[in-house]
Amino acid sequence: MRYARMPIEVESPEEYGYARIRWNLSESSVADQKLSDLGLTIPDLTLLYGEHRGRIRLRELIAAEGQGLSADDVLVTTGAAGALFIIATSLLSADDHLVVIRPNYATNLETPKAIGCAVTHVDLAFEDGFRLDPERIVAAITPRTRLVSVTCPHNPTGVMLSRAELDALVAITARAGCRLLVDETYRDLSFDAPLPVAAGLSEHVISVASLSKAYGVPGIRIGWLVSRDPALREVFLAASEQISICGSVMDEWVAEQVMQRRGQILPPRLAQMHARLGRVSAWIEGEPLLEWVKPSGGVVCFPRMTSEPPGGTEGFYRRLLEDHGAYVGPGHWFERPDSYFRLGYGWPTDRELDAGLAAISAALRG
């Protein structure tokens, strides 16, 4: 493995310093929650080594989200990031080939790079509404392809696959004899009915998700992977045991409580995010210096500039932060030009969001 730090992490607000940012529109989750916001007090837990696959009740709650899944199909991991790492390092070696969509959450691109496998990127284009044509996956698959990796709802565009597109990907990868990874980290933030948990559709499909984004608890570092293939699950468990033996007893306890309250937490949150999206929509449609593809899930969108700002994109990002105190995720976080940026509308308050949007408009003008 050849590790390199990813720009999205080097330049993340927590590394840069939250206190130095006034209007933070760079986040990809809803607002961070306190234990008290969730009505939780940590009990007197025994700090033992927990079940290696993750606390059974937590896994049952996760499995209940999909069709035909049981707790045995679930492995609790250190965030979705941990799940993605386990999957990439378990399935890919330098002799293998991966097909992955781009832009994408950076780990989906970077870990395969660190492994040194052959990679074909299927680039999603603004002009196509960032939609994935499954035929492009067919064209990218080679006899050495072991894994096809997609993300839905997508980060950074917020675009979703249709059910027909997901089914096509399942069929294409089955025919090719490779695995399909669906990163479903934003699934609970689908504005229309969510797609099924993909791992429930076939044994060769792996789903990944976490509590970080929809529930605002990235600090408990709880995610999971789901696979109905028992042999593959053993490999994933072996990887997980070599990394950390088991997860954190405290984190898993909190995660279980959050999952149990899912039915109360999600509906108001989705309504709130829908309203937020309305605010962004009204702003961007009156902003001639930007264009976008309206998202249908998640809490981010990926607008692009319609003309070069004064001082170029560098000047724009500098003014935005230094003069206006606002922060967004520049395109290079996602291996795209900096004329695109990721705007997160779920994390700030309404007032902060409005101030951040006004700051973007001002910084675009110089």
Ligand X SMILES: Cc1ncc(COP(=O)(O)O)c(C=O)c1O
Smallest separation, CB 77 to ligand X (Å): 8
Site residues for ligand X, 60-89, by CB under 6 A, read 79-81
Contact 124, 103 (CB under 8 A): yes
Collapse the DSSP code of 165 into the 3-class scheme (helix H, G, I; strand E, B; otherwise coil) and give the result.
helix
Please, which residue, 218 or 356, has the CB nearer to ligand X?
218
> Using the rule CB under 6 A, is 145 a contact of ligand X?
no
> Using the rule CB under 6 A, is 28 a contact of ligand X?
yes
> Using the rule CB under 6 A, is 240 a contact of ligand X?
no
What is the rounded CA–CA span in Å between residue 356 and residue 105? 23
Site residues for ligand X, 97-126, by CB under 6 A, read 105
> Using the rule CB under 6 A, is 151 a contact of ligand X?
yes
How far are the Cα atoms of 222, 226, 253 from residue 244, in angstroms, in the given order?
Answer: 13, 18, 17
Q: Which helix (H) or strand (E) holds 100?
A: strand 97-102
Smallest separation, CB 311 to ligand X (Å): 29
> Using the rule CB under 6 A, is 185 a contact of ligand X?
yes
Smallest separation, CB 269 to ligand X (Å): 17
Smallest separation, CB 79 to ligand X (Å): 2
Buried b (16+ CB within 10 A) or exposed e, 154-174: bbbbbbbbeeebbbbbbebbb
> Using the rule CB under 6 A, is 357 a contact of ligand X?
no
> Using the rule CB under 6 A, is 313 a contact of ligand X?
no
> Using the rule CB under 6 A, is 218 a contact of ligand X?
yes
Please, which residue, 3 or 322, has the CB nearer to ligand X?
3
Buried b (16+ CB within 10 A) or exposed e, 289-319: ebebbebebbbbbbbbbeeebeeebeebbeb
Task: Say how far residue 261 (Cα) sits from the centre of its chain.
Answer: 22
Contact 226, 62 (CB under 8 A): yes
Please, which residue, 223 or 309, has the CB nearer to ligand X?
223
The contact set with ligand X (CB under 6 A) reads: 28, 79-81, 105, 151, 155, 183, 185, 210, 212, 218, 223
